[in-house]
Chains A and B, each alone.
Chain A
Amino acid sequence: MKKYGLLILLLIIVVRLNAQSWEVPDDKKAKVSPVQFSSETAKKGEVIFLRNCQSCHGNPTKGNFANLIPSPGDPATDKFQKQTDGALFYKITTGRSPMPQFKDVLTEEERWQVISYFRSFNKNYVQPPVASASKVAAKQAALTVVWEAASRKLKVTASDTLKRSLKGVGVLLFVKRYFGNMQIGEEMTTNDSGIVRFDFPKDIPGDKTGNLDLIIRINSEKGDDVQKTVRLPLGVIVDKPPLTLPRAMWNVVWKSPVWLLLAYFLVVIGVWSFLIYIIYQLVKMKRRAGNV
C-alpha cells in the first residue's frame, strides 16, 4: 500500500513539474501594452473573461477554477500577478494543452483588456510605460495589391497618406472562407520601399469562376488594423454536383426508379381494364338474355 502511495506521489510531482514549465521567450516577456489600463479597460476585460475564460479559471479571488492538469489557477493569485504583462499576453495568445489559443478569438486589444482586468485585483501593480506609438502608425496606411502572374506572387505595397512607403510593417494575407479567414503563409515585414511579396499557392479552391476574396491586413497592436479586401481570380474553379441521392426504390414518386413506376402502372391499368372488360361482358350477356 505504502509503495503505491509513494508511486502516486512521485507521479503527481512529475506531472506538476511538467505542468509548471511554461516557457515564455524573453522578447515576448518584455512586451508592454499599447493601451493605458483603466477601470474602463478592466470592465471590458471582465466581460471578455466571463465569456471565454471563466469556465476553467473561475471567478478571480474566489479560487473556484476547474480541477485540470495542469491547474488553470486563479488570475488574482501571485502565480499570475508575478508574471509580466508580456508573458500573460503571450500565454493568452498561444495557449497550450489544455488551454486553447486565443490568437484568432480575441483581438490584441481585447487580450490587453483581459490583462487589465487581471491587474485590477493587484493593488501593488504599476503599469509600465505604454508602448511607443511608432509601431502603431498603421492607422493611416493605404495598401495597394498587384498580382504578379509570372512568379505567382502577390505584391503588396504599404504607404501612408502622404504616399510615403511604410517600412518594417507586419503584413498578413488571408483568404476568405465560410466560417473565417484562412491565413496564407506567415506574417511578412515590408522592406525599405514598403513592399512585401507573398507566394500564392496554386491549389486554393475558389468559387464557380475561380474567384477568391483576399484579405490583406496590417497588424497593429492598438486594434486599429488596416485591412483591404480584393477579389482576384487566383483560385481553382470548383463546381461539384450536389450530394443528393439518385432515384431509389423506397421513396416518393419523383424519386422512385422509372422502371418501377412503369411496371406498377402497367399492372394497375392491366388489372383494372380486365375487371372493366368482365363487367362489360356481363352487361352484354344480360342484354342478350333480355332480348331473347
Chain B
Amino acid sequence: MEDKEKPKTSRRKFLENLGLLGTGALAASAAVYSGYHYEHSKNKTGRKIKVLTADNQLAEVDAGSLTISGKPTLTALQMRGREGIKHRRWVMIIDLSKCRNARKCIAACQEAHHLRPEQYHINTLQMQESEKTAPFFMPKPCQHCDNPPCVSVCPVDATFKRPDGPVLIDNERCIGCRFCIAACPYSARSFNWIEPKFANQDKGKTYDVELNVPQKKGTITKCLFSSDRIREGKLPYCVSACPNGVYYFGDENEDAVTNGTTKETVRLSKLLRDNGGYRLMEELGTKPRVYYLPPKNRLFPFPEEGNIIEKEG
C-alpha cells in the first residue's frame, strides 16, 4: 500500500543518476580519445622533412612517419623471416673425410652473427668412436630438424620451423626461458648470459630474424642456415668460408647441392647414396636436415694437442 504512494524515482535521484552517467561517459570517451591520439602521434617528432615525390613534387612530411624503402622495418623483417623462400627445402651435407679443423667456418659464422669467441653456432668436435678406429673432426651446426623438439616446447612461438626448412629464433619474442636448450638433443643452442659482443656498436640497428643481429642479452642464439645469405642466392657463411670442401649446401626439391669450396653442383641423392650419407641420432625421430658423409680415408693421425697438421711431424 505504501509503495503506491511513494513515487518510484524522485527528481533528485534521477538528476544524480544522470550526472553519474554523464561523467562516466565523458571519462570513457576521453580515455578512448587519448588512446587514439597516442597511437597516431607516437611516431611524430614534430620535425618536418622535405621529400621529393615520384612525380617531382616537393612535399613536407613528419620525420617520424617516414620509412625509407630499402631499409625494411622490424615487422617486415619478422614477416619475411617467417615466410621463407617458396618451394625450397634447404639441406646441408658435411663431408667428415675432408674436415681438417681449419676452423674457418666458425670464424666466418661468429663474425657474421656478432658472436663472442666462446659462442658457437657451429663447432668442430674431435671425435674418436673407439680406441682402434680413426679419429676425425666433426663440424656440428644446428641440425634444422623437420620435427624439432625445440619448437614444440617454446611457450611463446619465438623459435619456429620455416616452410623452407630452417629453424629460426625471433629474439623480439624470446622470453629467455631456455626450454629449447633443454629440449635440443644436439646442443645446438646457446644463451646470451651477458651483454653481446657488439652491444654498443649494434645499438639502434633493426633486428633481423634471419641474421640474429643485433644479439640480445637474455635470449637464445643459434645457427640460422644463414637465411639472409640464402635469400640473396649465396651459400651460407660457413659453407663458403671452408677451404677444404667439407660443406655442400642446396635445395632438396632440386636434388642438387653445391660445394662451398669448389662451387661444384652435384646430385644430392647420388652424393648420399655413393658415400653412405647418414644423419645424427636418427632414432630420436627429429628428422634433421643436415647429413653427414662418413670419415673415410683419414690422412692424418689424431692430434695429441692442438692440430698436428699445423706441426708437420
Contact = CB atoms under 8 A, between A and B. Distances in A.
B234 to A, nearest CB: 8
A2 to B, nearest CB: 16
A23 to B, nearest CB: 18
Interface stretch (A41-49, A122-130, A201-209): A201-209
A182 B268 CA distance: 11
A151 interface: no
A183 B258 CA distance: 11
Given A205-B253, A250-B155, A251-B157, A242 B163 contact: yes
Interface string A1-28: 0000000100110000000000000000
A100 B244 contact: yes
A55 B299 contact: no
Contacts of B160: 244-245
Contact of B163 (A95, A100, A177, A243): A243
A214 to B, nearest CB: 14
Nearest to A291: B3
Interface stretch (A66-74, A112-120, A257-265, A271-279): A66-74
B164 A242 contact: yes
Nearest to A178: B251
A179 B265 contact: yes
Interface stretch (A80-88, A101-109, A152-160, A162-170): A101-109
B294 to A, nearest CB: 16
A134 interface: no
Interface in B257-313: 257-258, 261-267, 299-300, 309-313
Contacts of A239: 87
Contacts of B255: 203-205
Residue of A56, A182, A255 contacting most chain B CB atoms (<10 Å)? A182
B87 A208 contact: yes
B262 A177 contact: no
Contacts of A71: 312
A177 B259 CA distance: 13
B89 interface: yes
Contacts of A242: 84, 163-164
Given A69-B300, A179-B249, A98 B100 contact: yes
Residue of A180, A204, A245, A251 contacting most chain B CB atoms (<10 Å)? A180
Given A67-B310, A243-B163, A179 B250 contact: yes
A102 B262 CA distance: 6
Nearest to B100: A98
Contact of A95 (B157, B262, B263): B262
Contacts of B104: 55
Contacts of A97: 98, 299
Contacts of A11: 313
Residue of B153, B233, B257, B263 contacting most chain A CB atoms (<10 Å)? B263
Interface in A183-217: 183, 203-205, 207-208
Interface residues of B, number: 51
B141 interface: no
A141 to B, nearest CB: 24
B61 interface: no
B307 to A, nearest CB: 9
A255 B157 contact: yes
Nearest to A236: B255
A232 interface: no
Given A67-B312, A177-B251, A244-B161, A103 B243 contact: no
B250 A178 contact: yes
A248 interface: yes
B88 A178 contact: yes
B258 A177 contact: yes
B256 interface: yes
A291 to B, nearest CB: 8
B162 A243 contact: yes
B126 interface: no
B29 interface: no
A216 to B, nearest CB: 16
Nearest to B244: A98
A255 B151 CA distance: 12
B152 A248 contact: yes
B262 A103 contact: yes
A67 B311 contact: yes
Interface in B134-165: 146, 148, 151-157, 160-165
A244 B162 contact: yes
A180 B263 contact: yes
Given A69-B300, A204-B255, A243-B164, A179 B235 contact: yes
B155 A181 contact: no
Given A179-B233, A243-B162, A255-B157, A100 B262 contact: yes
Given A67-B309, A182-B266, A251-B154, 19 more contacts: A8-B313, A55-B243, A66-B310, A69-B299, A177-B254, A177-B256, A178-B251, A178-B254, A178-B256, A179-B233, A179-B235, A180-B258, A205-B255, A207-B87, A238-B254, A239-B87, A243-B89, A243-B146, A244-B163
Interface of B: 84, 87-89, 98, 100, 104, 146, 148, 151-157, 160-165, 233-235, 243-245, 249-251, 253-258, 261-267, 299-300, 309-313
11 contacts: A69-B300, A95-B262, A101-B264, A105-B262, A180-B263, A182-B266, A183-B265, A205-B254, A240-B87, A242-B163, A244-B162
Interface of A: 8, 11-12, 55-56, 66-69, 71, 95, 97-98, 100-105, 175, 177-183, 203-205, 207-208, 238-240, 242-245, 248-252, 255
